[in-house]
Structure 1
Amino acid sequence: MAEFNNIDIVGECKNGLEAVTLIPQVRPDLVFLDIQMPGLNGFQVINKLQELKQPIPLIVFVTAFDSYAIKAFDVHALDYVLKPVDERRLKDAVDKVQLMLERKQQDGNNQKLARLVADFTGDDCEDILRKLASGEPITTNPYPDILAIKDGSEVTRVAVNDIQWIDAAGDYMCVHATDQTHIMRRTMKELEKDLDPKKFVRAHRSAMVNIKFVQKMVSHISGEYHLILNNGTELKVSRSHRDRVKEMIKL
């Protein structure tokens, strides 16, 4: 096959038994498999590999009998070539194999990319694959889903979506999640950079709230506004942050 510079021959077999042994060893992308062979015929080679739970490479059957063609495709052969082999027909088969390998590689790349984006954004992997296939843009969320809170030698992973509000206590931040309150040594400004501004908003200089846990916003006779959370917690809204809070809760 010197004229096919995109093909490297990694092995040859004299019969079907040798093929069953060699194919799992060298794991070729493509096998040209004669249907009529001593020991095991081409179809039996495929069946034996399946019984052994071995990956099946792309198969191009070679046969002297056109009647085998239909059966060849029953075992998922990519193509078949009749003997004596016509060079043009062989080239067509090789081109088909090349196209299939390129598609498999692209599908593999898409799968890896989809898993990477899904891990990074929390989006659904199948939805990302659909977007890749249709050419839709994939947007990524630069904000983490997990907040790592260090306490001595321990690190607690807190889901950002479970954080209800955060307030300052001296040099520490009190992170109030649905299950418990966690203490961490960071500034409000640092935390604000790590949290999605579409979900979290400053209520005043020393407190930030997750909008999804806000039940309502109420005004007092004094003119002050307060946020009431689902768990009954009441947070004061400072004048400088009032407009932004109203915008976030769609008032």
Structure 2
Amino acid sequence: LGSIAEEDLPVVIFITAYDKYALKAFEVQALDYLLKPLAEDRFKIALDRAIMHFKNKEESGQDKKLKNLIEDYQQRHEDDSLVQNRRKTQMIVKASGKIHFIKTDRISWIEAMDSYVKIHLSDKTHIVKASLQSIEERYPGAFIRIHRSSLVNVDSIRYIEPYYNGDFFVTLDGDVKLKGSRKFRMNLPEML
């Protein structure tokens, strides 16, 4: 860390068995210093502090560099089957100052809202900055588009009812009824 330029320093939490390096850690601007054996409550405090650090911080050059680094990593490892498998079964959502790991099978449907989407679970919703198209591409086979503003989880569909002029209604678990447009009827050829 001492060899990294100050403006390029990442946010660091040290976890070590040695308390003698704590002063050095804070000299290189560490966010926290945890000693082993690690207590779960102490780890949670450090993690909450890191989350608050990012939540309260406006998007700076460092944040952009981190975001670019993550995007670069994901692109370079797109063919890695472990990364692909994790991406298909779990959605990572940053909302309410927390990072949520949501299994895709818990998501009932996703609604477009300008440059955001509303992710509907059975018990709550999350609003995140994303597009329906990006979700379709990232989770192929998990969600299908039934309308220009709606994606549904294939496993949540209870039944489909034909409607006027090629349109249709999809009823999901929890008796959620959504209208599908004929333009996207081809996404459900076997069901219709």
TM-score (norm 1): 0.41
Taking a change above 3 Å as real, the CA distance of residues 224 and 144 of structure 1, as seen in their structure-2 partners, is closer
Which of residues 106, 129, 140 is equivalent to 1:162?
106
SS at match of 2:188: helix
Deviations 1:164-200 (A, max 9, x none): 1101112210001123111111111111111132x31
The residue type paired with residue 179 of structure 2 is K
Which of residues 156, 172, 176 is equivalent to 2:116?
172
- The answer (yes or no) to whether the contact 2:91–2:102 under 8 Å persists in 1 is yes
Aligned to 1:191: 135
Matched, 1:231 2:179: no
- The answer (yes or no) to whether the contact 2:109–2:152 under 8 Å persists in 1 is yes
Count residues in correspondence. 113
The residue type paired with residue 225 of structure 1 is F
Aligned to 1:151: 95
SS at match of 1:184: strand
Cα distance, 1:158 vs. partner? 1.0
The residue type paired with residue 100 of structure 2 is T
Higher strand share: 2
* The 10-residue stretch of structure 1 (220-229 or 185-194) with the greater mean CA deviation from structure 2: 220-229
- The answer (yes or no) to whether the contact 1:214–1:230 under 8 Å persists in 2 is yes
Which residues in structure 2 correspond to 1:95-106 (within 5 Å)? none
Which of residues 180, 185, 188 is equivalent to 1:242?
185
- The answer (yes or no) to whether the contact 1:202–1:245 under 8 Å persists in 2 is no
Which residues in structure 2 correspond to 1:6-25 (within 5 Å)? none
- The answer (yes or no) to whether the contact 1:165–1:209 under 8 Å persists in 2 is yes
- Unaligned 5+ residue runs, structure 2? 1-79
The residue type paired with residue 195 of structure 1 is Y
Does 1 or 2 have the higher relative contact order (CA < 8 Å, sep 6+)?
A: 2
The residue type paired with residue 173 of structure 2 is N
Superposed CA RMSD in Å reads 2.4
Which residues in structure 2 correspond to 1:52-91 (within 5 Å)? none
Which structure's CA Rg is the greater one? Answer: 1
- The answer (yes or no) to whether the contact 2:122–2:174 under 8 Å persists in 1 is no
TM-score (norm 2): 0.52
SS at match of 1:243: helix
Aligned to 2:146: 203
Aligned to 2:12: none
- The answer (yes or no) to whether the contact 2:108–2:173 under 8 Å persists in 1 is no
Query: What is the alpha-carbon distance in structure 2 between the residues aligned to residue 152 and residue 174 of structure 1?
Result: 13
